[in-house]
Homo-oligomer: A and B are copies of this chain.
């Protein structure tokens, strides 16, 4: 999948009362604010957030996944990007101005604070919801016009929301046993401490939710689609402190964590870091924080006492061990069986003349996944998109508005599951009737890019930024392209989007060489507005490969595809293929049959569909 999506509420929300209450708080002496900034992130900079953290949606009425609100004494502005212009314009009431990001001369929210609000303004923000580095830049530009960034101890939206605000989830935490993680949490922590001692750091504050889940080999269900739990952690030479609501922890979990792990309440992390401040004054050591840590955490620890870098846990987590890799392989086989069963079922429905909408499809697919061993839940909202809806990259069907799946149009299905042994993310584009020549040509160009990535062999040190072009050269030949990255990291029974690496045009991907043990998706696409969308997405593992030579003694890497859902040969324009590509398709589909058929009932519709769909392309 390419990104986050949210439920589409198409009616505007009346925000007059909420805004009046908020502005009343501005005037309180301890605040004395000109404006208040409401980001959409939670305190952990999570991609998916819990309902209690949907503050920007509450105050503005706009429910999209990306956006930021600025409420001043007399204005209210909502900043979002092109994906959400239509949705925002429907959901915002008369109180709000929509600021269309990316349109020339529309300021960013940071520019707006400087250019559109009076000089010497006091701009309030909840410091837990903004990254320390962003707060620093913002303070500098506000300072130039005499304005200041005011950290409010309480979140003002929460005060307005009051009792109607959903409680922070406090779901029970589960232990993820060694047979799934391949490595004890003691070992991971020992490793982290080694890294810290190399640079003589006093300790590290873990603030990303998936990093905490990974480090302690625990999982939760506090956030939809992500098996994580609300917590912070502080790992120092002497202490391991987990900041968490202890009600979430059974005796089994506590036993698993062991006596070396101390527990403190979730929000006590701020208080504890402030106490550390004194310690640092008499000491030359510093605390390491991640570049994605909140301004609030950085303030608590004291900016002069911290150094920030990419989280060492982010890097460690990205490289899967052999147990995790094998778990990823296994869950992908079961997941493929579910997708195969679904496509076979869809075909049967259409043959029988039944009418199905996109949600019906997504629901049936979920049912097929539920039948699989170790399945826990979906890893994101299923994209089930017929014809033109496939061209909306972040499309998510909604019960009231979704389309009927037209068997005579391309059907794009991007979905994934959480399994105890791994996380899946697969997109296939299929046609139940007769595709047009244009559809076949575009599909084949996308497929050629997919094959070029799949077959790539590259020296160690190569980044996904450099490989991205391989996914595009065949499309470019026809003057086609796609406006998203080629691939993202995938967690192992964790978040479906995971860093620090990726294959894509974002320059940050040039900082991280691909390394053996990493997972990454291979998902080129092509989108023809108003007509169709094509994406072919497979999860691959980065593996060492043997090459005839080894120039420069660097060692060479390649990809192992673990998603094994066949490529529909009906959609391939054979005249565009070279023999290697032709053979790749047949080999891949044969591998799908060989590895996935054991997970299907013999003679079931899924089995027969798989057998037919994996027959060699002549």
Chain A residues in the interface with B (C-beta under 8 A): 456-459, 466-470, 473, 475-481, 483, 507, 510, 526, 547-552, 556, 578-580
Given A467-B469, A469-B470, A470-B469, A479 and B578 contact (CB-CB distance below 8 Å): no
Among B468, B479, B550, point to the contact of A550 (Cβ < 8 A): B479
Q: How far is the CA of A477 from the CA of B550 in the complex (A)?
A: 10
Shortest CB–CB separation between residue A116 and chain B, in angstroms?
27
Given A470-B473, A578-B579, A549 and B480 contact (CB-CB distance below 8 Å): yes
Please state if A458 and B476 are interface contacts (CB–CB under 8 Å): yes
Residues of B within 8 A of A457 (CB): 473, 476-477, 479
Residues of B within 8 A of A579 (CB): 578-579
Please state if A549 and B478 are interface contacts (CB–CB under 8 Å): yes
Please state if B479 and A548 are interface contacts (CB–CB under 8 Å): yes
Residues of B within 8 A of A580 (CB): 578
Q: How far is the CA of A467 from the CA of B468 in the complex (A)?
A: 10
- 11 A–B contacts, CB within 8 A, in A order: A457-B479, A459-B476, A466-B466, A469-B469, A469-B470, A470-B473, A478-B549, A479-B549, A479-B556, A480-B549, A526-B551
Please state if B552 and A478 are interface contacts (CB–CB under 8 Å): no
Please state if B458 and A551 are interface contacts (CB–CB under 8 Å): no
Shortest CB–CB separation between residue A456 and chain B, in angstroms?
7
Please state if A547 and B473 are interface contacts (CB–CB under 8 Å): no
Residues of B within 8 A of A466 (CB): 466, 468-469
Q: How far is the CA of A547 from the CA of B445 in the complex (A)?
A: 13
* Number of identical monomers bound together in the oligomeric complex: 2
**Chain B residue at minimum C-beta to C-beta distance from A505:** B466
Q: How far is the CA of A483 from the CA of B478 in the complex (A)?
A: 32
Please state if B547 and A477 are interface contacts (CB–CB under 8 Å): yes
Please state if A556 and B470 are interface contacts (CB–CB under 8 Å): no
Beyond A458-B476, A476-B556, A578-B579, list 10 extra A-B contacts (CB 8 Å): A457-B476, A459-B476, A469-B470, A475-B551, A479-B547, A479-B549, A479-B550, A480-B549, A481-B551, A481-B552
Residues of B within 8 A of A477 (CB): 457, 547
Shortest CB–CB separation between residue A556 and chain B, in angstroms?
5
Q: How far is the CA of A302 from the CA of B476 in the complex (A)?
A: 48
Please state if B459 and A547 are interface contacts (CB–CB under 8 Å): no
Shortest CB–CB separation between residue A77 and chain B, in angstroms?
29
Shortest CB–CB separation between residue A23 and chain B, in angstroms?
43
Shortest CB–CB separation between residue A528 and chain B, in angstroms?
9
Residues of B within 8 A of A458 (CB): 473, 476
Please state if B481 and A459 are interface contacts (CB–CB under 8 Å): yes
Shortest CB–CB separation between residue A16 and chain B, in angstroms?
41
Q: How far is the CA of A469 from the CA of B468 in the complex (A)?
A: 10
Given A478-B549, A548-B478, A552-B481, A473 and B456 contact (CB-CB distance below 8 Å): yes
**Chain B residue at minimum C-beta to C-beta distance from A579:** B578
Shortest CB–CB separation between residue A511 and chain B, in angstroms?
11
Q: How far is the CA of A550 from the CA of B580 in the complex (A)?
A: 28
Residues of B within 8 A of A551 (CB): 475, 479-481, 526
Shortest CB–CB separation between residue A393 and chain B, in angstroms?
14
Shortest CB–CB separation between residue A164 and chain B, in angstroms?
44
Shortest CB–CB separation between residue A54 and chain B, in angstroms?
33
Q: How far is the CA of A479 from the CA of B550 in the complex (A)?
A: 5
Q: How far is the CA of A580 from the CA of B581 in the complex (A)?
A: 12
Residues of B within 8 A of A476 (CB): 456-459, 547, 556
**Chain B residue at minimum C-beta to C-beta distance from A553:** B479
Shortest CB–CB separation between residue A596 and chain B, in angstroms?
28
Most buried by B among A456, A510, A551, A556: A551
Q: How far is the CA of A580 from the CA of B458 in the complex (A)?
A: 23
Shortest CB–CB separation between residue A535 and chain B, in angstroms?
15
Residues of B within 8 A of A483 (CB): 552
Residues of B within 8 A of A481 (CB): 459, 551-552
Most buried by B among A526, A578, A579: A578
Shortest CB–CB separation between residue A577 and chain B, in angstroms?
10
Residues of B within 8 A of A526 (CB): 551
**Chain B residue at minimum C-beta to C-beta distance from A547:** B479
Q: Which 3 A-B pairs have the closest CB atoms?
A: A479-B547, A479-B549, A578-B578
Q: How far is the CA of A476 from the CA of B546 in the complex (A)?
A: 11
Residues of B within 8 A of A469 (CB): 466-467, 469-470
Shortest CB–CB separation between residue A179 and chain B, in angstroms?
36
**Chain B residue at minimum C-beta to C-beta distance from A455:** B477
Shortest CB–CB separation between residue A96 and chain B, in angstroms?
31
Residues of B within 8 A of A549 (CB): 478-480
Residues of B within 8 A of A578 (CB): 578-580
Residues of B within 8 A of A552 (CB): 481, 483
